[in-house]
Amino acid sequence: MTTNYPGLSFWMDSIELPAVQRSPIDAPAEFDVAIVGGGLTGLWTAYYAKIADPNLNVAVFEREICGFGASGRNGGWASALFPQSMASLAARFGRSAAIAMVQAMVDSLVEVRRVVAAEGIECDLHAGGTLTFGRTKVQVAKLRSELGEAREFGFGEDYLRFLDKSETDERMRASGTLSSLFTPHCARIQPAKLVRGLAEVCERIGVKIFEGSRVLAIAPGRVEFERFSVKAGKVIRATEGYTSQLRGEHRTLMPIYSMMIATEPLDREQLDSIGWANRETFTDARSMIIYGQLTSDGRIAFGGRGAPYHFGSRIGGAFDRDVEVAALLRQSLIELFPSLAKVGVTHHWGGPLGVPRDWMASVGLDNESGIGWAGGYVGDGVTTTNLAGRTLADLICSTDSALVRLPWVGHRSRKWEVEPLRFAGVNLAIRLTKAADRRESNGTPHPWQGRLADLVRGRT
């Protein structure tokens, strides 16, 4: 059990956590629906299942506190991004299915905004969209390819728009920017406020939440704890980056760490040097992902990949900070915004996200066993969890809807390789991706490094 919950992230440090957490489950019990994981996936599922059928006896079991995992540590992007390209979805499931999946993500962002407003969840939501900078010729070529794909699948300027340098600079001034893509389909949020607020809403409508309740394994009709089991008609696995810690799930989702920093609040002169009147979230087109936002109190919360994968899918507090990655993040931030060279960093944190072998997020419910699941968001989970929760609620309640016919429903990714193959392959992919970015920064394409990294990771 962790006790320093404010230390998990800037987000958790910025809210008032209760002095006493919710009570753990301490005796055998029986529920209609038992959900393992008190993050956004589990809570959205509980919320929509209870709304759909108020008579359902729904329980959520969380090892620590609600929002302990990625839901309370992420970059705060409620976006319409899905971790597979339109072309990849079409190749696997067909053109119409790909279009339906992308549209469902756009609709899910609208739904997140609706629920936040309707339920009075104060989470600093601001729908400013996202800018993706093209800062080298190679990156600009990537942006044009992404734009072309969107147009090929029928998504117009209201979905994704190309901005030249002057148009980009009118929104945000980042060094070396040649052009950018803008999508309005992203909202900045304070993730800890969202997940903790959603937990309170769930309790208000009758969902039972048990914190400090470590689940060892799930099985048809039951959830196993150290001293007893809980019975349930439906058991839902909503553990994302921590799935590998469940018995029998060691190779289902690989935990990859993403790291973040937060600056001290920027003053007016520093903000004016960037522009940023509409508070867009931002990234660029490098391969080793970065992401940032302007918080409600004027800080930049900035994150990225690059931390190593830990042998045996190990997870622990010792991995939640990486001094080397934090220094690289600060360096990248200053490269983007040189005027911030003297701005201090007040927070550094990280945590695991869940990666399936084929990078294809999925949701499903096996009616025979009663076991359901959702996850594999590869870091694009804030909005995707909402879609997962609504879909699982329809599956739990046997509701025939458009959601249950989306292509990710029922998808099963193959297991990750056994060690040491997993350790060697994934960390090789990380090194190749970094090398590809170095070549790109010099204006040189990476015809083999990036592609080899994708093949090693299983990404298509």
The DSSP-derived string for 329-386 is: HHHHHHHH-GGGTTPPEEEEEEEEEEE-TTS--EEEEETTTTEEEEE--TT--TTHHH
**Bridge partners for 230 per DSSP:** 223
| Residues 6 or more apart whose Cβ sits within 8 Å of residue 215 | 36, 61, 63, 223, 224, 225, 246
Q: Side-chain half-sphere of 448: how many Cα atoms within 13 Å?
A: 0
- The distance from CA 294 to its chain's CA centroid, rounded to whole angstroms, is 18
In terms of CATH architecture, what is 127-190+255-354? Answer: 2-Layer Sandwich (3.30)
**Bridge partners for 261 per DSSP:** 302, 348
φ/ψ region of 151 (left if φ > 0, alpha if ψ in -120 to 50, else beta) reads: alpha
One-letter amino acid at 314 equals R
Q: Which helix (H) or strand (E) holds 109?
A: helix 95-118
271, 276, 282, 284: CA torsion to nearest 10: -90
Per-residue pLDDT of the chain (460 residues; tens, 9 = 90+): 667 999 999 999 999 998 889 999 999 999 999 999 999 999 999 999 999 999 999 999 999 999 999 999 999 999 999 999 999 999 999 999 999 999 999 999 999 999 999 999 999 999 999 999 999 999 999 999 999 999 999 999 999 999 999 999 999 999 999 999 999 999 999 999 999 999 999 999 999 999 999 999 999 999 999 999 999 999 999 999 999 999 999 999 999 999 999 999 999 999 999 999 999 999 999 988 999 999 999 999 999 988 899 999 999 999 999 999 999 999 999 999 999 999 999 999 999 999 999 999 999 999 999 999 999 999 999 999 999 999 999 999 999 999 999 999 999 999 999 999 999 999 888 888 888 877 777 666 655 545 544 544 444 4
Name the nearest CA neighbour of 104 among 372, 376, 381, 383. Answer: 383
**CA 55/CA 105 separation, integer angstroms:** 29
Count of C-beta atoms within a 10 Å radius of residue 300 = 25
One-letter amino acid at 392 equals L
- The distance from CA 77 to its chain's CA centroid, rounded to whole angstroms, is 8
Q: CA distances (Å), 327 to each of 96, 106, 150, 174, 277, in order?
A: 44, 35, 35, 19, 28
DSSP category for residue 5: G
- 5-74+191-252+358-405 has CATH 3.30.420.40 classification: no
Count of C-beta atoms within a 10 Å radius of residue 43 = 32
Chain position carrying tokens 């002095």? 19
Chain position carrying tokens 């690289």? 328
- Give the pLDDT of residue 431: 87
| Neighbour-count burial of 267, counting CB atoms closer than 10 A to its CB (0-12 exposed, 13-18 middle, 19+ buried) | exposed
| Neighbour-count burial of 24, counting CB atoms closer than 10 A to its CB (0-12 exposed, 13-18 middle, 19+ buried) | middle
Asked if 270 and 226 count as a contact pair (C-beta separation under 8 A), the reply is no
Q: Side-chain half-sphere of 334: how many Cα atoms within 13 Å?
A: 12
Handedness of CA 389, 157, 286, 347 (dihedral sign): negative
| Neighbour-count burial of 56, counting CB atoms closer than 10 A to its CB (0-12 exposed, 13-18 middle, 19+ buried) | buried
- End-to-end CA distance of the chain: give it in Å, rounded: 38
Packing angle of the helix pair 384-396, 95-118 (nearest 10 deg):
100
- The distance from CA 366 to its chain's CA centroid, rounded to whole angstroms, is 24
Q: Is 215 helix (H, G, I), strand (E, B) or coil?
A: coil
Global pTM exceeds 0.85: yes
